[in-house]
Chain A
Amino acid sequence: MKKPWMIFKILFRDNRVRALAFWLSMLIVPMVDLASQITAKKGMFPFKGIRLFNLCYTLGLVFFYRHSLYKYYRENRQLFLAQLPIHSVYRSFSEIFAHQILAIFPVFLAIAGMSVTALLFNLWNFNGFLYFAFAEFVYVMTVVSISLLIAMSGRLFNFLLMTVLLSFIHYFQKPASYGFDLIHFMDPAKFYTSESLIAKLYIRLAIASVGLCLPISFALIAYRSSRPLTCLNQASSKIEKIVALILLLVGISYFSASKQEPELKFAGFNRQKTHEKSTILWSSAIPLEQSVVDLYAPTVARLGKDIEQLYQNFDIPLSGIHIQHNPRTAHPMFLGSPKKQGGALGITGNFDDLSSHYPEFLHEVFLEIIRMESKNWVMKESQILKWRGLAYALSGSRLEPDLDFDTWYADASFRESVRKRNWLQVYRELGSCYFDRFAGALFPSNRSEIKGSELKSFARSALNIEGRSIIVHLVRNPFLLFDGPLDLSIEKNLQKILQTMDQKSYSPKLLRPDFDLKLDEMYTNIYRAQFKLKNGSPEYHSIQIEIAQLDPTGWLIFDKMRSFPYEGGMAEPGFSFIKGETYYVSLSWMKEPSGCRIYGSWLEVSP
């Protein structure tokens, strides 16, 4: 083992400047991109970083091999090693292997860097990381084999041609047909998200195997030859021509696909189409058979009606909805902002789920939006009661458990907050489900306070999804329910509730759970948070920590939520705080016997 290490050491010394430049350039570009993603506060898009790294790596590796491996043979630089008493096959193999290690080294750094980043920002779980690391390694071996081939051929024209083609493929990654799945193994965004993932992994593995065999065959050729470069040229040029031909065909296909894109790409549906009674309301990046499309057609049609009503009742400026079927998506998620899609709402989700749970799905839609809105602590206090009451009324009380109101009626601070109409305080003190019931009690009989125009405004605001990362729902039922002005007489119902409260006897107040926060600097300007629970009680369980950030528009973006058992009393949510950012941290817990989740107040944290 000492001798191959020495060979590596010699070759590293020989290529030190080249190797360092290659490594740095491989890492700097993706890191700059990563930093810009972090500072932009729009959430990270890991695939973008991986894609950028892969592109840099592919191009950089071809250049690196061209300038190290090819010159190594052309300038007879192997003479030094050839003199040493090492078996020539062993030596040739070690030389090639050492060059490969030099080439792969930045990948190890990148995988390590990306993993740390991913773990810090909790982008992947551990299994996700392992899968990513494996797939990336296989990808790298693929690129190494192609780059090795290009470099060893030694012909500048071929070298440039291959470089251009590789760049071409990286940049023109357009989902067009099944044919392109073959090449999607090079694009992380496609590789990790489309259906034929396993097939692509096999393709990568196959090419990576070739990548491993090539150095061995080159080593054997060099061993038998008095003029290694000539022999390697001859050996590689034939293979290279085949690879170049394949890449050229793929490149042409991509180019033609990008030209035909307007015809191939189905842009969901838009308002004009719905007026024309179009039944095709959605698209899929994964081509589906007609029978499958027919199966989804009723669901899609219903969604179309929702969108239509959304437009007619509330003037919500959505030109359409782009729905992408993705079986790997557990919940419907925003696919993109309306601005980027010409004003249309982009949603990705599993249509299988949507088909089977459509009524429930719809029923929860507006509630979800309202809840997310009212959880936003920057909302005006008077609005919280209104919207939570509306949500409670719409839910038909079925979403919350039966609650023991005596507990909160008996709470002196609660009574005081109600009298002062300090609704936010009530919300914080009681927890969402008590509060919701309370709000709901004020709502149903007389709904004069919420006007249609206000609801419209609220719905528009709630659907103004730019930059948010909440689960999205679309709704039809609320629009059907509230076709006229909405009323809510807080005054009348509040008096009733206050009278009821006055008749109840008081009981000692149980101390609410709280936490101490400790920040340790793990790396420069990056802090690890540790929460120590105070005032715990067996009555409290499923304690959760929520960490949120304010986006520039004033929305709270909920980044992390961690649950930990009371017995532990400590929690490290695996979320890192970056210096200069402002975070909001809150504790919530379930309280027995009601099963109601209670939210603590928000704590502002600025490391």
Chain B
Amino acid sequence: MNNEIILQVKSLQLLYNRDLGLKSLDMTIAKGQKYGFLGRNGAGKSTSLQVLGGVLRPQAGTISFKGETKDHITSKWKQSLGFVPQNPEFPNHASAMQLAKIISIFYPNWCDSRFHQGMNLFQLSSKRKVNEFSMGMKLMFSFVLAYAVNPELYILDEPTAGLDIISRKILFDLLNEESLQGKTILLSTHIVDDAAENCDFLGIIDAGRTLIEGPIGDFGSNARTIEQKYLEIIKCDAVGLNP
């Protein structure tokens, strides 16, 4: 892993109401890093990732991607992103293959062989209509689409929620392979074990603000110690202490 910064976020803000939403998100991700994004339910993880995935437009702050700085994710940057939302939405009445064909037009790095490889690994049928998929299958399909895009940065919003053990393993195996290829992974989760096992860098968010980020070794040597540290940080934040 080198120290080249692929994504840097400074004071990002997106408020739904006066006190609800993303207040100040700061994040620095190096190329090839596996960044674990931890936080409680409602902490702002999904909003953060939707902003970074280019779905939502922030109200303030800056985003730098591969050295270029803007106030939002541009459509050009999106071509290098593989975004997997928490609850993927797909159009009705379209088969997996039909959707893949449509999506491939928008991504210059789209790779059909990667798409078929992913579909085979997760045992998803290309001919089946996507809205007939279960929630877990939709997640897998969404990941397969992101994988086929051959992105430089994966942005995964709780990708294992609703997945069975085997599919989880396939997903993380693929991510590890991608990481070895130099791809960067941003993984949001509220399960500390997932982060401890699959990430080398952690960022913690609560109440719409980044509390802390650093190498996973700074948080503990195993899942249990990392979890204790995480709980401490959240508690300190709740009583107003600096973690």
A interface residues with partner B (beta carbon < 8 Å): 2-3, 6, 9-11, 13-17, 75-77, 79-80, 82-88, 90, 223-227
When distances are taken between beta carbons in the complex, the residues of chain A under 8 Å from B59 are 226
Q: Judging by beta carbons under 8 Å apart, are B14 and A3 in contact?
A: no
> B76, A85: Cβ atoms under 8 Å?
yes
CB distance from B111 to the nearest CB of A (A): 16
Please give the distance in Å from A579's CB to the nearest CB on chain B: 39
Which residues from 57 to 99 on chain B have a C-beta closer than 8 Å to any C-beta of chain A? 57, 59, 74-79, 81, 83, 85, 88-94, 98
Q: A78 — nearest CB in chain B belongs to which residue?
A: B89
Task: Give the docked Cα–Cα distance between A6 and B93 (Å).
Answer: 15
A527 to B230 alpha-carbon distance, docked (Å): 83
Contact sample, A vs B, 9 pairs, CB 8 Å cutoff: A13-B93, A14-B92, A16-B92, A17-B93, A79-B89, A83-B55, A85-B54, A86-B75, A226-B57
How far is it, in angstroms, between the C-alpha of A75 and the C-alpha of B90 when the chains are bound?
12
Q: Closest CB-CB distance, A513 to chain B, in whole Å?
A: 62
Rounded to whole angstroms, the CA-CA distance of A80 and B55 in the bound complex is: 9
Q: Are A79 and B85 in contact (CB under 8 A)?
A: yes
Known contacts A13-B94, A83-B54, A85-B78; decide if A6 and B89 are in contact (CB<8 Å): no
Give Cα A13 to B94, complex, Å: 6
**Contact across chains for B76 and A224 when beta carbons are under 8 A apart:** no
Query: Provided the pairs A85-B78, A86-B75, A226-B14 are in contact, do residues A10 and B105 lie with their beta carbons within 8 angstroms?
Result: no
9 additional A-B pairs beyond A79-B89, A85-B79, beta carbons within 8 Å, are: A14-B94, A16-B93, A17-B93, A75-B89, A87-B74, A226-B16, A226-B56, A226-B59, A227-B16
Q: How far apart are the CA atoms of A306 and B180 in the complex, in Å?
A: 103
Interface SS, B side: loop
A11 touches which one: B14, B77, B90, B91 (CB < 8 A)? Answer: B91
- What 8 A-B pairs come out closest when comparing CB atoms? A85-B78, A14-B91, A82-B55, A79-B89, A85-B79, A85-B75, A87-B75, A13-B94
- Specify the main secondary structure of chain A where it touches its partner: helix
The smallest beta-carbon distance between A473 and chain B, in angstroms, is 62
On whether the beta carbons of B107 and A85 are closer than 8 Å, the reply is yes
Give the Cβ gap from A313 to chain B, nearest Cβ, in Å.
74
- In the bound assembly, the distance between CA atoms of A38 and B55 in angstroms comes to 54
A223–B57 CB distance below 8 A: yes
Beta-carbon contact of B57 and A80 below 8 Å: no
Task: Give Cα A103 to B55, complex, Å.
Answer: 26
Answer whether A84 and B103 are a contact pair too, CB < 8 Å, given A14-B92, A226-B14: yes
CB–CB B91/A83 < 8 A: no
Taking A2-B105, A10-B102, A79-B85 as contacts, is the C-beta distance between A88 and B93 under 8 angstroms?
no
Whether the pair A6, B54 counts as a contact (CB closer than 8 A) is no
> Do residues A82 and B93 form an inter-chain contact, with CB atoms below 8 A?
no
Q: Does B203 contact A (CB under 8 A)?
A: no
A85 and B106 in contact (CB under 8 A), knowing A224-B57, A226-B56? yes
Tell me how far the C-beta of B104 lies from the nearest C-beta in chain A, rounded to whole angstroms. Answer: 10
Inter-chain CA distance A87–B93, complex, in Å, is: 25
Which residue from chain B places its CB closest to the CB of A9 in the assembled complex? Answer: B102
CA distance A94 to B176 in the complex (A): 38
CB distance from B70 to the nearest CB of A (A): 12
Query: Is B53 close to A, CB under 8 A?
Result: yes
Beta-carbon nearest neighbor of A17 in chain B: B93
**Could you say which of B16, B79, B102 has the most chain A C-beta atoms within 10 Å of its C-beta?**
B102
A196 CB to closest chain B CB (Å) equals: 46
Contacts of A82 in B (CB 8 A): 54-56
Specify the chain A residue showing the minimal Cβ separation from B90.
A80
Q: A82-B54, A84-B103, A223-B57 are in contact. Are A10 and B76 (CB under 8 A)?
A: no
Minimum CB–CB distance for A427 against chain B, Å: 67
Cβ contact within 8 Å between A83 and B83: yes
> Cβ of B83 and Cβ of A6 under 8 Å apart?
no
A88-B57 in contact given A3-B105, A6-B106, A226-B14 (Cβ < 8 Å):
yes
> Complex: how many Å from CA A1 to CA B123?
35
Given the complex of chains A and B, what is the CA–CA distance between A523 and B102 in angstroms?
A: 37
Q: Which of A17, A77, A79, A87 has the most CB of B within 10 A?
A: A79
